[in-house]
Amino acid sequence: MPVPTYLYHASPEENLGSIRQNGLMPRSGAPAYLCMSAVESGAICLKSKASDLVFRVEYSGLDQTKWKEIGAGKKEWRGTETIPANKLQYRRFLGSPEQKTWRAV
């Protein structure tokens, strides 16, 4: 299984303040996990809006023992690790070229 360069996660823009303060935290399931995608197009919000943000983290900077690929060909990765804000970059899905430029959280 090839390891991705980045993992991606989408979130509504109103969550940016919390993500800046707390990073991305496992919340789904029992035990709690964080769901990410190995491809940017796989990171989606359930109720998508033009202002949604996509976050990325370098996979090599994660504790790889806490991450696993789920499902054949789906590019979904689940992890039990909290990703601190200082490891994340984000951009808008839609918008001006400036809004779509990757920047530090």
Q: Is the pLDDT of residue 72 over 70?
A: no
Residue 51 forms part of a structural domain: yes
Q: Is residue 37 part of a domain?
A: yes
**Of 34, 47, 33, 51, nearest to 93 (Cα)?**
51
- Residue range of the domain that includes 49: 1-63
Say whether pLDDT at 88 is over 90.
Answer: yes
- Region 46-69: mean pLDDT is 92
Q: Binning pLDDT at 50, 70 and 90, where does residue 1 land?
A: low
* Whole-number percent of the chain with pLDDT over 70: 97
Residue 53 has pLDDT above 60, yes or no: yes
Other Cβ atoms closer than 10 A to 77: 24
The stretches of the chain forming alpha helices (DSSP H) are 16-22
Residue 76 inside a domain? The answer is no
The reported pTM is 0.91
The residue with greater pLDDT, 47 or 89, is 89
- Asked if 55 contacts 37 with a C-beta cutoff of 8 angstroms, the reply is no
The verdict on residue 68 lying in a domain is no
Q: Cα(5)–Cα(71) distance, rounded to whole angstroms?
A: 19
Span 22-29, average pLDDT: 92
Quote the number of domains for the chain: 1
From residue 60, give the alpha-carbon distance in Å to each of 5, 20, 25, 63, 83: 7, 21, 18, 8, 12
Question: Is residue 1 one of the residues assigned to a domain?
Answer: yes
Q: Are 92 and 38 in contact (CB under 8 A)?
A: no
